[in-house]
Amino acid sequence: MARVLLVEPFHGGSHGAWADGLAAHSRHEVVTVSHPAIAWRWRMRGGALTLAEATRRAVDEHGPADVVLVSGMVDLAGWLGLTRRFLGDPPVVLYLHENQLLYPTSPNQKGPRPGGASDEFPLVNWMGMVAADQVWCNSAFQRDGLLATLPDLLGRAPDQSHLGFLGEVAHRCHVVPVGVDLADVPVPEEGVSERRAPTGPAGPLVLWNQRWDHDKNPKAVLDALCRLADEGVAFRVALVGENERVDPREFVEAREHLGDRVVAWGFQDRAAYVDLLGRSDVVVSAAHHEFFGIAVVEAMAAGCVPVLPTRQSYPELVGSWADGALYPDAPFSSVSSETGLRTRLCDVLVDLDGWRARVVGLDEAIRRFDWRTVIVDYDDRLEALAGGSH
């Protein structure tokens, strides 16, 4: 058994669930050092120092680490410099839940390049990748997109380009999916038999269960739902997820428009959320950014028919069920994103049984991401690194 130092700069949401799930399921001793999930820009700019000090206390209390696993929202190179006198030289893994090269900019973001982008945080990601012994990406979609985008970033250097380091760093990149806590998510054949009965005059229950942020593109989903409601399509909807926005205007307007079709709203505690998963028929997304997709995995594991775009990480998640799970939304598709989403969602709502038949077996296949399954891969990788094979 190895002692794993787990450093999570942004302990909340999917990051916190990942850190807690790993600590709970690993056969190794996991010592967690973390900061709260606020002020992500400050975490990347200044978190290295305070996390280093917290690491010093953890090493004093628990002893030296055999391997270090650091989540990506921090200046890893700076953190390693600040811990060098007491950390020793254990192998270091950088885990990328996301990266700032591919993350869509906020509509309100300002920066020196078009779209408000800046090279500051992408370079933090890059330097962390260089400093790590291994880089784990949560999906092949993220890894491949990151490696394809890095040459453009590195090519903007005025001199002493880092392009020559890219091949070596790419060789250290691996796909290690996020574990998802599915132990309490109902298995369709056993846990939600009532949902398999006819949905009644109110129609199927549609679930939107993502963060209420711009990168999840909620407006496209809400607009589609409102249009279908105006057309008289029968459905109910649950609009749930974390919201830190002061003015989620499109949600408020959609709630007023949809009226009593809305059966759940806002953040749900775990028990209420799991119950909602068991009652939902369809899960929908139009996200501009999805490097993995924990919420969608949870819903598909509970038996929801997915209505997802043909991009981001979704094709990787659904695999051979793509025809039944994904609507046309590729960059060069003749079908617009709005039309593709609304058309597919309408088709699913009016012929739910037919679309369920198209995705039979997906609920079982998606459980390959259950922590109880993926932890074996995590633990074996960590043990190999601790044993000196990095």
As a residue count, the chain comes to 390
Asked if residues 317 and 359 have their Cβ atoms less than 8 Å apart, the reply is no
* Domain match, 365 and 380 both: no
H or E stretch covering 61: helix 40-62
> 327 pairs with which residues across the strands?
309
CA–CA dist 196, 91 (Å, integer): 49
CA–CA dist 252, 57 (Å, integer): 46
Within 8 A by CB and 6+ apart from 387, the residues are none
* Domain match, 70 and 163 both: yes
The residue range of the domain holding 314 is: 188-369
CA–CA dist 327, 324 (Å, integer): 8
* Domain match, 100 and 141 both: yes
* Domain match, 163 and 201 both: no
* Domain match, 124 and 15 both: yes
Q: What's the CATH code of the domain at 350?
A: 3.40.50.2000
- State which residues of the chain have pLDDT below 70: 106-117, 189-199, 246, 330-338, 389-390
Within 8 A by CB and 6+ apart from 122, the residues are 99, 100, 101, 153
For 333, phi then psi, to 5°, come to -70, 150
| Closest-CA residue to 238 (of 221, 218, 261, 271) | 261
Asked if residues 163 and 151 have their Cβ atoms less than 8 Å apart, the reply is yes
Per residue in 273-305, pLDDT (tens digit) is 999 999 999 999 999 999 999 999 999 999 999
Within 8 A by CB and 6+ apart from 316, the residues are 139, 140, 141
Break the chain down into helix, strand, coil percent, rounded to 5.
Answer: 50, 15, 35
For 293, phi then psi, to 5°, come to 120, 60
The predicted pLDDT at position 263 comes to 96
Tokens of 300: 């598909």
* Domain match, 110 and 214 both: no
Domain count, the chain: 2
* Domain match, 32 and 148 both: yes
- Sign (positive or negative) of CA dihedral 136, 139, 142, 144: positive
Tell if the pTM clears 0.85, that is, is over it: yes
First to last CA, the chain: 17
Quote the DSSP letter at residue 283: E
> 186 pairs with which residues across the strands?
none
How large is the angle between the packed helices 337-350 and 218-230, nearest 10 degrees? 50
Tokens of 69: 């696993």
The predicted pLDDT at position 113 comes to 47
The predicted pLDDT at position 341 comes to 95
Q: Which residue type, as a one-letter code, is found at position 362?
A: L
* Domain match, 165 and 225 both: no
Q: Which residue type, as a one-letter code, is found at position 280?
A: S
Residue with tokens 């132990």: 183
Per residue in 174-229, pLDDT (tens digit) is 999 999 999 999 998 644 434 455 567 889 999 999 988 888 999 999 999 999 99
* Domain match, 159 and 265 both: no
* Domain match, 299 and 215 both: yes
* Domain match, 215 and 281 both: yes
The predicted pLDDT at position 165 comes to 97
The predicted pLDDT at position 248 comes to 82
Asked if residues 346 and 352 have their Cβ atoms less than 8 Å apart, the reply is no
* Domain match, 201 and 167 both: no
